[in-house]
Amino acid sequence: MHDGDYTQLPHDRLADLRRALLYRYGAVAARNLRLDMSRGKPGRDQLDLSSGLLDCLTKDDYMSRNGIDCRNYGGLDGLAEMKEIFADILSVEPSEVIVGGNSSLNMMFDNIASNMSHGVRDQVPWQKQGKVRFICPVPGYDRHFAICDYFHIEMIPVPMTPEGPDMDEVERLVAGDGMIKGMWCVPVFSNPDGCVYSEETVLRLANMRPKAADFRLYWDNAYRIHHFEGELRPLPNIIRECEKAGNPHMPLEFFSFSKISFSGAAVSAVVSSASNCEFILKRLSVQTVGPDKLNMLRHARFFKNAAGVYRHMEKMAVLVRAKFDCLDGVLRENLGGKGIAAWNNPGGGYFVSFDTLPGCAKRVYDLCKNAGVALTAAGATYPYGRDPNDSNIRLAPTYPETDELRQAAEVFCLAVELASAEKLLGGFNG
């Protein structure tokens, strides 16, 4: 059955279509599926690529190259060998890197917590200055938004363009409002829309003139080396560009091995100016006697250097591309030419950003849920879970096995078709 563009169908044809779709949906729902496209979790095949991490240390191998017994306390800023790998990947100096635990999200949370309660570099704590606001490019990452929400930081959505956040709007906002203290950026394969910021966008961000002297750019470079299609277009280095622009302390760059090695047991890092790092270490020295250096040593042994990481990511790319191709294939096959859906087909990252007809995303989410297919909640890609068009859904194809992914994607397509038919008929109960 191919019906062309649904939006052009007469009412009776649509009604027939809806009946047929409902019938198919009923059959699918009865199958009690349990499929999951909700989170950016790597599949088992991806994790297997790092299985060498599990046994790369031996009983006698626990000393770092600087003679640190990694089993004992200490080493607040991380092992030199891991700092070097992070620095090489991000084209910065090892002295600009602090290596953390298994969660870069935690480093972001902590930096914001610190700025709220203790201020940026001993300036007035954000929380004492009034209602703090952050610029949130949309669609965006729900966990970034959750941190803002937790600290009662008001989120100001700014639309994404194919070049990155709408910079006219961003520049206007930061220059005019001294309570705008931060901005979230996922510059490479942005979550969820897969956008890679243009060179111009990066340079304009680095050269911003925020009204707030304590404005901070949260540069979550989680997918920096996660291209699976061709070469990655080189991006200006945010740390260096901010320096050149006279904003040396503005950016905090975050990176993580969570989607390189083991998502639950990787290492993360924050990169910033030397004096920002000092402030971070001052807080860290109160928080902990030191990070897990053995896990850093494991990573250093397994990957050896940045080149080792890149070779690893080439293998990773093959696996991830297969999942994206599978998803894209099912979407094209089932929804192509029907006028009810738009989606990207990114060359990297973890997500497909999918747009339904306005007003259909929640319905699609519910239909999928009832049929046993978990999606990221509709609206999650917007601050406060409020998608003004109720149309954006983030699809995460990596976690399911390919067979399961195909099934899940087919259920999803059916849900999109059904929700669209209902919508075009004038309501879900129409």
Residue 226 contacts a second copy per CB under 8 A: no
The answer to whether 185 and 97 are in contact (CB under 8 A) is no
Binding positions for a second copy, 338-357, rule CB under 8 A: none
Least spacing, CB of residue 104 vs a second copy, in Å: 9
Q: What is the DSSP string of 260-326?
A: TS-TTS--EEEE--HHHHHHHHHHHHHH-S---HHHHHHHHHHH-SHHHHHHHHHHHHHHHHHHHHH
* Residue 137 contacts a second copy per CB under 8 A: no
Q: Does 308 bind a second copy (CB under 8 A)?
A: no
Say what the alpha-carbon torsion angle 285, 289, 292, 294 is, to the nearest 10 degrees. 120
Interface pick for a second copy out of 7, 72, 95, 370 (rule CB under 8 A): 72
Considering CB under 8 A, how many residues would be counted as binding a second copy? Answer: 58
Contact with a second copy (CB under 8 A): which of 3, 45, 80, 109? 109
Check binding of 423 to a second copy (CB under 8 A). Answer: no
How far apart CA 232 and CA 228 sit, in angstroms, is 9
If binding is defined by CB under 8 A, does position 381 make contact with a second copy?
A: no
Span near a second copy by CB under 8 A; candidates 39-47, 181-189, 333-341, 381-389: 39-47
Token pair in block for residue 307:
């080149």
**Contact status: 117 vs a second copy (CB under 8 A):** yes
Count of C-beta atoms within a 10 Å radius of residue 240: 14
Of 86 and 262, CB closest to a second copy: 262
Q: Does 191 bind a second copy (CB under 8 A)?
A: no
| 102 or 190: CB nearest a second copy | 102
C-beta of 286: minimal distance to a second copy in Å?
5
| Residues linked to residue 185 through DSSP beta bridges, in sequence order | 219
Q: Any bridge partners for residue 165, and if so which?
A: 160
> What gap in Å lies between CA 430 and CA 426, rounded to an integer?
6
The verdict on 295 binding a second copy (CB under 8 A) reads: yes
- Residue 379, amino acid: G
| Contact pattern for a second copy over residues 272 through 291, marking x by CB under 8 A | -----------x-xxxxxxx
**Cβ 232 to a second copy shortest distance, Å:** 24
Question: Is the Cβ of residue 250 or residue 265 nearer to a second copy in the bound state?
Answer: 265
Please name which of 370, 336, 359 lies closest in space to residue 425, comparing C-alpha atoms.
359
Based on the shown chain and the rule CB under 8 A, indicate whether residue 76 belongs to the binding site for a second copy.
no
Q: What is the rounded distance in angstroms from the CA atom of residue 423 to the CA atom of residue 403?
A: 30
47 near a second copy, rule: CB under 8 A: yes
What crossing angle do the helices spanning 199-206 and 167-176 adopt, rounded to 10°? Answer: 0
| Radius of gyration for the alpha carbons in the chain, expressed in angstroms and rounded | 23
Closest contact distance (angstroms) between CB of 355 and a second copy is 26
Interface positions with a second copy (CB under 8 A): 39, 41-42, 44, 47, 50-52, 54-55, 57-62, 69-75, 101-103, 105-106, 109-110, 113, 116-118, 127, 143, 146-147, 149-151, 258, 262-265, 283, 285-295
